[in-house]
Amino acid sequence: MLWEVNKVRKNIIPGFQFNGLVAGIKKDGKKDMGLIYSEVPAVAAGVFTRNWIKAAPVILTQKRVQRRYIQAVLVNSGCANACTGKKGIEDALILTKNLARILKIPSDLVTIASTGIIGEFLPVKRMDDRLGDLCNGLNSKKISDFAHAIMTTDTFPKIAFRKKVIAGKEIVIGGIAKGAGMINPSLATMLVFILTNAAILPQSLPSLLDEGVKKSFARITIDGDTSTNDTVLLLANWQAGNNPWSQKTAKANGFMLMLLEVMQELAQKIVEDGEGATKVIEIKIKKARSEEAAECIARSIAHSPLVKTAFYGEEVNWGRIIAAAGKTNFPISFEKIDLFIGQVPLIKNGINLAPQNEKEAQKLLREKKIIVTLVLNQGRGETSVFTTDLSPGYVKINAGYKS
Amino acid sequence: MLWEVNKVRKNIIPGFQFNGLVAGIKKDGKKDMGLIYSEVPAVAAGVFTRNWIKAAPVILTQKRVQRRYIQAVLVNSGCANACTGKKGIEDALILTKNLARILKIPSDLVTIASTGIIGEFLPVKRMDDRLGDLCNGLNSKKISDFAHAIMTTDTFPKIAFRKKVIAGKEIVIGGIAKGAGMINPSLATMLVFILTNAAILPQSLPSLLDEGVKKSFARITIDGDTSTNDTVLLLANWQAGNNPWSQKTAKANGFMLMLLEVMQELAQKIVEDGEGATKVIEIKIKKARSEEAAECIARSIAHSPLVKTAFYGEEVNWGRIIAAAGKTNFPISFEKIDLFIGQVPLIKNGINLAPQNEKEAQKLLREKKIIVTLVLNQGRGETSVFTTDLSPGYVKINAGYKS
């Protein structure tokens, strides 16, 4: 049973413990409250929603992360505690304070994240009643319980791990995410917690996180909507015993790459689990007049309902891609454009090659993963974003069908 | 049968003739080629798609409208003649030239508009063969044939009329539009032709049209997509015999209001016929920090798939409206917000009134027309846009289901 042992061992991030249980916040009776606990205060960095309407837990956590040390993260699903005014903030404060008392740590070291319905108050009493059990049940092997407790419309829990010996020390990075709907560049109903035993200098952690987010979670978009609750937290608890790394060292010794792998794997899982998604589509823009133009054009395509429904229908409808690319503020010229599905060219210098290549392209469109490459031949700007198709399932989920 | 006569009479715009027939461009055997003919050259103004990728007919018509006189407008559905390069332009030129020869007018006075699939060439031969019949069948009473010939996924033809005696002359304005999908602020697969017998000074016509578009077609949005072919043409053939009006006169004597009514009626019909739409939703923004902010926030709400699916589901889900409002570059503050469905308040100064008002709001959400008012209490900016819900029907139509 070596494999079993290894598997369990693999899922441990030294110095971190987890739990997840049913507090009765969700109506479906599933796990809805979870806890991450670091045995020592961990150096912390966070990235939060850019929506002007920020949920109470985001406001509180943003403040506490600024002090750079976090030891516990309380998370609930089923209620977003957003648009809840002063009472929302007070509720979050009460819960973190009571949790801190049970854990015997300063409440400054406790943060909170919530996801679920906007505009409703947290069932504080019900949650408070379970804080003791939540702490008592903490265990380094219960990461999956935690991952389940933070799910909303997610169809599967999202966990990613990487382990590597760097400078003689075993470095582990583990990440847990929830996503599903409202996923968009500005982060959206997305909660991500990334934990490592590495020692990283407090002043270096935020830039490592920012760089990672830019290359992972900021590259996925499902519906262009942005939630009030998005939170990405990175905690480093120094348990590996390495000489604390600066940003430069972490990049040179492979830690950054490892971190990026975890973040990209989680981002990939979030987009794969996009509400109603049947396909993941990568939109690559090349040779745009600038990075900014590439970015804007990629998102215009990725958010176009006409493009997304065409992918759902598995149709070669390149006109919609071109029309979406042409509607931004950045001028493009059809005569210069090359467009590919996978390696199959549909347009070359504005010449329509679809008639002869349609069958081959059609074959690729039936796949679960599709790569669209639009070469604008205007400059050096390039980017790539991941999105999903738009299916009747998306409408069904979001129209609140009770079935 | 006075009524019948009146009805026919009502549908006549002095000096304009119409036709519509089957040229075999569409696969479904329905009418797909139409013609508007003015018995004398009419003063013309146009507004065109802001997409950088402009279809061949748009490029040609834009040029010809600049000379300010137009006598014939050839329109086809089934093929957009977009992304068709030089051959696309040549095809449009050949057709307008041959049509001009049959009509015995200079080809400079002939414009063309196309709608349908992007990336395919016009079946020039097939269309050319029917130009003679198209001209022979011209008749002042055949506006409905024309309206049918320009339809694509439209479920009904869109015609609007206004008649009024101004300064002793009977002034008529008639408009024909097609819309359905891809409708958005920057105009999208929308063709609109507005015809009047009034005499308007050539230099005044463009500003009248611009003002009208700003208050009608620019206020509707279905999916945020923008087509390559959008065209709004206004032709004034001076047959009413009035002293030619300047912009100022046309505003003072009620002509502008009449024009606006025609344009708004057509815009309303386009949004009502939005692909898969089951409801029309007006998003009113009040007391925003600026007009620009109001505009941007209104469209962010109107384009949000989460908001639109919630309307389809007839659910009171104000959190999605607020989240969509908060994701733009313009800061808003939840504590200042009032939100109404119809007259029913859901939020007042950031206080959630939904629990007590949910039933009343629910009732309004079951209606076909819904008004959402978001008061930001930040300044004097205000706007209103019309959009639709997002239904499984939209996905079905646009995924290209053959059923």
User: In a 3-state reduction of DSSP, which class is residue B313?
Assistant: coil
Residue B119: which of A306, A315, A318 has the nearest Cβ? A318
Q: Express as a percent the part of chain A with pLDDT over 90.
A: 68
Kindly list the residues from chain A whose CB atom is less than 8 angstroms away from the CB atom of residue B392: 392, 395-396
Strand partners, A171: A164
**Cα diameter, chain B:** 70
What pLDDT shows up at residue B2?
36
Q: CB-based contacts of B376: which residues, under 8 Å, 6+ apart? A: B285, B286, B287, B288, B289, B293, B294, B297, B325, B332, B336, B337
Of the candidates A328, A279, A383, A400, the one whose C-alpha atom is nearest the C-alpha of residue B224 is A328
Residue B305: which of A225, A310, A317 has the nearest Cβ? A225
Kindly list the residues from chain B whose CB atom is less than 8 angstroms away from the CB atom of residue A85: 334-335, 350-351
Residue A305: which of B85, B223, B333 has the nearest Cβ? B223
> Residue A135 gets which letter from DSSP?
H
> What is the chain A residue with the closest CA to B337?
A83
Mean of pLDDT over chain B:
89
Does residue A287 come out as left (phi exceeding 0), alpha (psi in the -120 to 50 range) or beta?
left
| Cβ separation B51–A326 shorter than 8 A | yes
Parallel, antiparallel, or unpaired for β A351-352 and B33-48?
unpaired
* φ, ψ at A90 (rounded to 5°): -60, -40
Which tokens hold the place of A263? Answer: 């973040």
What pLDDT shows up at residue A6?
40
Q: How far is CA B107 from CA A292, B60, B64, B87, B113, in A?
A: 43, 11, 9, 18, 15
Of the candidates B348, A180, B104, the one whose C-alpha atom is nearest the C-alpha of residue B356 is B348
What pLDDT shows up at residue B154?
86
Q: CB-based contacts of B137: which residues, under 8 Å, 6+ apart? A: B19, B21
Parallel, antiparallel, or unpaired for β B231-236 and B344-348?
unpaired
Which tokens hold the place of B321? Answer: 């409206």
Which tokens hold the place of B128? Answer: 């050319």
What pLDDT shows up at residue B398?
66
Q: Taking the CB of residue A3, how many other CB atoms lie within 10 A of it? A: 7
Residue A181: is its pLDDT beyond 80? Answer: no
User: In a 3-state reduction of DSSP, which class is residue A118?
Assistant: coil
| Cβ separation B334–A225 shorter than 8 A | no
Burial (Cβ within 10 Å: 0-12, 13-18, ≥19) of residue A6: exposed
Residue B286: is its pLDDT beyond 50? Answer: yes
Q: CB-based contacts of A400: which residues, under 8 Å, 6+ apart? A: B310, B313, B315, B317
The more confident residue out of B304 and A243 is A243
Query: Which residue's structure tokens are 């506490």?
Result: A64
User: What would the pLDDT profile of B185-224 be if each residue is shown by its tens digit?
Assistant: 333 478 999 999 999 999 999 999 999 998 898 888 765 5
The more confident residue out of B176 and A389 is B176
Annotated catalytic residue within A84, A152, A189, A388: A189
Strand partners, B163: B172
Query: Which residue's structure tokens are 């790394």?
Result: A245
Residue B226: which of A182, A323, A352 has the nearest Cβ? A323
> Residue B226 gets which letter from DSSP?
-
User: What would the pLDDT profile of A27-82 be if each residue is shown by its tens digit?
Assistant: 889 999 999 999 999 999 999 988 888 999 999 999 999 999 999 999 999 999 99
What CATH number labels A8-272? 3.60.70.12
Query: Which residue's structure tokens are 């919530």?
Result: A114
Interval B37-47 mean pLDDT = 97
> What is the chain A residue with the closest CA to B311?
A399
Q: Express as a percent the part of chain B with pLDDT over 70.
A: 92
* φ, ψ at B209 (rounded to 5°): -65, -45
| Cβ separation B313–A400 shorter than 8 A | yes
Please tell me the total number of residues recorded for chain B in this structure.
Answer: 403
User: What would the pLDDT profile of A209-237 be if each residue is shown by its tens digit?
Assistant: 999 998 898 888 765 556 788 899 999 99
Q: CB-based contacts of B5: which residues, under 8 Å, 6+ apart? A: none
Å from A368 to nearest chain B CA?
16
Q: How far apart are CA A176 and CA A148, in angstroms?
A: 10
Residue B283: is its pLDDT beyond 70? Answer: yes
Query: Which residue's structure tokens are 């198209």?
Result: B134
Of the candidates B77, B85, B25, the one whose C-alpha atom is nearest the C-alpha of residue A347 is B85
Kindly list the residues from chain B whose CB atom is less than 8 angstroms away from the CB atom of residue A278: none
What angle separates helix B255-272 from helix B205-214, to the nearest 10 degrees? 40
What angle separates helix B305-312 from helix B291-303, to the nearest 10 degrees? 60
Which tokens hold the place of A224? Answer: 């262009």
CATH architecture, domain B280-399: Roll (3.10)
Q: How far apart are CA B172 and CA B70, in angstroms?
A: 18
User: What would the pLDDT profile of B242-272 be if each residue is shown by its tens digit?
Assistant: 999 999 999 999 999 999 999 999 998 988 8
Residue B401: is its pLDDT beyond 50? Answer: no
Of the candidates B189, B181, B182, B193, the one whose C-alpha atom is nearest the C-alpha of residue B155 is B181
Cβ A31 vs Cβ A16: under 8 Å = no
User: What would the pLDDT profile of A336-393 be if each residue is shown by its tens digit?
Assistant: 999 999 999 999 999 999 889 989 999 999 998 999 999 999 999 999 998 888 887 7
Cβ B336 vs Cβ B350: under 8 Å = yes
Q: How far is CA A215 from CA A67, A376, B228, in A?
A: 25, 22, 32
Of the candidates A121, A49, A118, the one whose C-alpha atom is nearest the C-alpha of residue B318 is A118
| Cβ separation B327–A186 shorter than 8 A | yes
Which tokens hold the place of B318? Answer: 């104000």
Q: Which helix (H) or strand (E) holds A96?
A: helix A85-103
Query: Per-domain residue ranges for chain B?
Result: 8-272, 280-399
User: What would the pLDDT profile of A258-295 be if each residue is shown by its tens digit?
Assistant: 999 999 999 989 888 877 788 889 999 999 999 999 99
The model's confidence at residue A186, banded by pLDDT at 50, 70 and 90, is very low
Which tokens hold the place of B292? Answer: 């620009």
Mean pLDDT is lowest, of A216-230, B3-17, B170-184, for B3-17
Which tokens hold the place of B300? Answer: 């962010």
Residue A2: is its pLDDT beyond 50? Answer: no
ipTM of the complex: 0.71
Q: How far apart are CA B306 and CA B289, in angstroms?
A: 25
Which amino acid, residue B19?
N
Interval B279-287 mean pLDDT = 94
Q: How far apart are CA B248 and CA B347, in angstroms?
A: 43
Of the candidates A351, A170, A323, the one whose C-alpha atom is nearest the C-alpha of residue A258 is A170
User: What would the pLDDT profile of B352-400 be if each residue is shown by its tens digit?
Assistant: 998 899 899 999 999 989 999 999 999 999 999 988 888 877 677 666 6
How many interchain CB pairs under 8 A, A with B?
188
The model's confidence at residue A154, banded by pLDDT at 50, 70 and 90, is confident
The model's confidence at residue B104, banded by pLDDT at 50, 70 and 90, is very high
Which tokens hold the place of A52? Answer: 């002007």
What pLDDT shows up at residue A226?
62
Å from B52 to nearest chain A CA?
5
User: In a 3-state reduction of DSSP, which class is residue B48?
Assistant: strand
User: What would the pLDDT profile of B55-98 be if each residue is shown by its tens digit?
Assistant: 999 999 999 999 999 999 999 999 999 999 999 999 999 999 99
What pLDDT shows up at residue A184?
44
> Residue B335 gets which letter from DSSP?
G
Q: How far apart are CA B188 and CA B274, in angstroms?
A: 12
Kindly list the residues from chain B whose CB atom is less than 8 angstroms away from the CB atom of residue A324: 225
For chain B, the straight-line distance linking the first and the last C-alpha, in angstroms and rounded, comes to: 42
Cβ B313 vs Cβ B350: under 8 Å = no
The model's confidence at residue B228, banded by pLDDT at 50, 70 and 90, is confident
Å from B379 to nearest chain A CA?
17
Kindly list the residues from chain B whose CB atom is less than 8 angstroms away from the CB atom of residue A319: 80, 82-83, 117-119, 228
The model's confidence at residue A400, banded by pLDDT at 50, 70 and 90, is low
Residue A4: is its pLDDT beyond 60? Answer: no
What angle separates helix B305-312 from helix B318-325, to the nearest 10 degrees? 160
Of the candidates B146, B185, B153, B133, the one whose C-alpha atom is nearest the C-alpha of residue B28 is B153
Residue B331: which of A52, A225, A352 has the nearest Cβ? A52
